[in-house]
């Protein structure tokens, strides 16, 4: 728990704010940042009545505050605290920068948001092999958003349950994770328009385990039980994926909606696009059936690519993949895992040993997808009992890159406890990742690839991973302006059981 506590402690408040801004959050941890939350001269007509209050005496907005409690990257409790400084003092909220023990706010001055029908003692979404606990039912949920009482008598139906609750959860977890933590409390202040500022982060510590609220204790016990049940090497690991690509008519430079050719479901399907494309499904996806072995999963990927090639009858359309092959079109290479317990060390291993090397290979334009997409530690709990790792760009740029990424991911998740290096914790390298500065990251990756090569099982995966590492050593990058359709069609004649490392002409420069 909180293996990066030393990282958090070493950061100044200004550095913490800088980190949060890099990953797309709005911080208000310093006096200058908090001053922006109380702006004079704003009329009540523009004040969100649910999340804010307005004082005619001072001409200031007093904004709704929330305390989000997180254990192992999962929300175990959310409390609403009312508005204004007086409510903060009444609730006993710690001031920014404090290292105080997290108190169990089982009383509090505001309402508690529903957590599985309980005001405490709900395990924090800890899932083991084949099991899952979802807090508040928010992955398809059906709960009322506020527990009884609420804040200021606001009717339950005035909250956008899915939007607001989801935002609070994602912001709190992202804030903790990017500051080196996985468990603690985050104080969020509403800015209106479903935006929230991070005012304070307080880590949970082992030293005070006897004083933890019931929800933390239950989540800790569930996590210990799940980890104890895992087999060495995680033989029950199951992997899936849904990498994305675009269909481009080169003569016009316009994206053709994938929904013209591909169904919503299936091994080759379509999905929603970026903001502004509502009502259409412009993005194409390959969704191979999950498998326990990388070779079998890649065979399913090849089959899905052939299905897409058959269904997309217009041969004039170009296929584009990568991080951002066209301005405004960010694509992802999402990987799914089950049969393994999601923990912060696992997520950080994926960031440092998988996302970092793929970032070294990406087209220079792919950095533009961050921080809206591609942030470190981006995950989503899935109904199948596992989780989706969402940080990667679309690795469909090349079958060779895809094979390397899949085998590398499988190796990392199987042996992540042996992968303890965390270069992305360093402030200058954290900044380099988000800005796309590859030079310092190349040097930082050298000891990581040596560690990967020493893992049990690497010898069997080497012929798939070594070409990817070779590209990194040669400082090659993929070209997102290239058509990848032909690359995946050339795999058609190869039997699924005889997938080998090849070096076809592919979009790397």
Residue 65 has a pLDDT of 92
* Cβ–Cβ < 8 Å for 120, 77: yes
Record the tokens describing residue 171, joined without a space.
């912001």
Residue 383 has a pLDDT of 85
Higher pLDDT, 502 or 458: 458
Instruction: Please count the other Cβ atoms lying within 10 Å of the Cβ belonging to residue 149.
Output: 12
Residue 208 has a pLDDT of 78
In a 13 Å sphere around the CA of 454, the CA atoms on its Cβ side amount to 7
The whole-angstrom separation of Cα 460 and Cα 471 is 20
Residue 90 has a pLDDT of 36
Tens digits of residue pLDDT in 261-313: 999 999 999 988 776 666 679 999 999 999 999 999 999 999 999 999 999 99
The whole-angstrom separation of Cα 166 and Cα 489 is 40
End-to-end Cα spacing for the chain: 42
Predicted TM-score (pTM) of the model is 0.81
The whole-angstrom separation of Cα 407 and Cα 126 is 26
Tens digits of residue pLDDT in 355-378: 999 999 999 999 999 999 999 999
Tens digits of residue pLDDT in 17-58: 999 999 999 999 998 877 766 654 333 334 444 454 444 443
Q: Report percent pLDDT > 90 for the chain.
A: 65
The whole-angstrom separation of Cα 482 and Cα 384 is 35
Residue 39 has a pLDDT of 52
Q: Is the peptide bond before 371 cis (omega within 30 degrees of 0)?
A: yes
The whole-angstrom separation of Cα 39 and Cα 36 is 6
Question: What integer is the mean pLDDT of 444-471?
Answer: 97
In a 13 Å sphere around the CA of 478, the CA atoms on its Cβ side amount to 32
Residue 489 has a pLDDT of 86
In a 13 Å sphere around the CA of 354, the CA atoms on its Cβ side amount to 32
> Per-residue confidence at 83, pLDDT binned at 50, 70, 90?
low
The whole-angstrom separation of Cα 56 and Cα 43 is 9
> Per-residue confidence at 160, pLDDT binned at 50, 70, 90?
very low
Residue 280 has a pLDDT of 77
Burial-class residue 117 by CB neighbours within 10 Å (0-12, 13-18, 19+): exposed
Distances (CA, A) of 409 to 137, 253, 413, 454, 509: 29, 34, 6, 15, 24
Residue 95 has a pLDDT of 35
For residue 207, pLDDT beyond 50: yes
For residue 416, pLDDT beyond 50: yes
The whole-angstrom separation of Cα 502 and Cα 500 is 6
- How high does pLDDT run on average in the chain? 80
Q: Among 21-30, 59-68, 290-299, 315-324, which is the least confidently predicted range?
A: 59-68
Tens digits of residue pLDDT in 93-121: 333 333 333 333 333 334 554 333 332 33
Within the chain, what is the greatest distance between any pair of CA atoms?
76
> Per-residue confidence at 232, pLDDT binned at 50, 70, 90?
confident
For residue 479, pLDDT beyond 70: yes
Q: What three-state secondary structure class fits 340?
A: coil
> Per-residue confidence at 61, pLDDT binned at 50, 70, 90?
low
* Cβ–Cβ < 8 Å for 410, 239: yes
Q: How many residues does the chain have?
A: 509
For residue 229, pLDDT beyond 80: yes
For residue 189, pLDDT beyond 90: yes
Q: What's the sign of the alpha-carbon dihedral 301, 304, 310, 314?
A: negative
Record the tokens describing residue 326, joined without a space.
């066209």
């Amino acid at each position: 728990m909180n293996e990066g506590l030393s990282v958090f402690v070493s950061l100044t408040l200004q550095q913490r704010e800088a980190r949060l801004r890099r990953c797309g959050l709005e911080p208000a941890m310093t006096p200058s940042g908090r001053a922006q939350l109380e702006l004079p001269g704003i009329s009540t007509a523009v004040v969100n009545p649910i999340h804010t209050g307005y004082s005619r005496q001072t001409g200031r907005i007093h904004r709704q505050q929330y305390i989000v409690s997180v254990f192992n990257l999962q929300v175990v409790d959310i409390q609403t605290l009312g508005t204004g400084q007086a409510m903060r003092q009444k609730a006993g909220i710690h001031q920014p920068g404090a290292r105080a023990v997290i108190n169990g706010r089982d009383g509090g001055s505001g309402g508690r948001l529903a957590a599985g029908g309980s005001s405490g003692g709900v395990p924090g979404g800890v899932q083991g092999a084949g099991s899952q606990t979802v807090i508040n039912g928010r992955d398809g949920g059906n709960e009322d958003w506020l527990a009884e009482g609420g804040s200021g008598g606001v009717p339950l139906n005035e909250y956008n349950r899915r939007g607001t609750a989801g935002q609070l959860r994602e912001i709190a977890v992202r804030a903790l994770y990017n500051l080196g933590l996985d468990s603690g409390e985050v104080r969020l202040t509403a800015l209106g328009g479903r935006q929230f500022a991070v005012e304070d982060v307080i880590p949970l510590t082992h030293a005070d385990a006897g004083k933890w609220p019931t929800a933390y204790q239950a989540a800790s016990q569930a996590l210990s039980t799940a980890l104890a049940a895992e087999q060495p090497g995680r033989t029950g690991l199951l992997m899936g994926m849904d990498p994305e690509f675009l269909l481009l008519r080169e003569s016009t430079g316009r994206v053709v909606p994938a929904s013209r050719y591909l169904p919503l479901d299936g091994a080759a399907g379509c999905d929603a696009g970026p903001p502004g494309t509502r009502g259409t499904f412009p993005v194409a996806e390959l969704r191979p059936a999950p498998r326990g072995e990388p070779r079998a999963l890649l065979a399913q990927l090849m089959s899905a690519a052939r299905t897409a090639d058959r269904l997309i009858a217009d041969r004039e359309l170009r296929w584009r993949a990568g991080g951002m092959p066209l301005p405004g079109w960010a694509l992802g290479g999402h990987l799914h895992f089950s049969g393994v317990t999601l923990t912060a060390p696992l997520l950080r291993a994926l960031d440092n040993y998988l996302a970092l090397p793929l970032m070294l290979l990406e087209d220079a334009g792919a950095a533009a997808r961050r921080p809206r997409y591609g942030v470190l530690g981006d995950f989503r709990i899935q109904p199948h009992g596992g989780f989706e790792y969402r940080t990667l760009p679309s690795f469909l740029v090349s079958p060779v890159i895809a094979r390397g990424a899949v085998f590398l991911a499988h190796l990392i998740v199987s042996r992540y406890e042996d992968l303890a290096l965390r270069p992305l914790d360093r402030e200058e390298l954290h900044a380099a990742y988000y800005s796309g500065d590859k030079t310092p990251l190349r040097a930082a990756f050298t000891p990581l690839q040596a560690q990967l090569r020493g893992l049990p099982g690497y010898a069997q995966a080497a012929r798939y991973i070594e070409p990817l590492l070779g590209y990194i050593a040669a400082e090659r990058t993929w070209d997102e302006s290239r058509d990848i359709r032909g690359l995946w069609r050339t795999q058609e004649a190869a039997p699924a059981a005889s997938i080998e490392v090849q070096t076809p002409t592919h979009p790397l420069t």
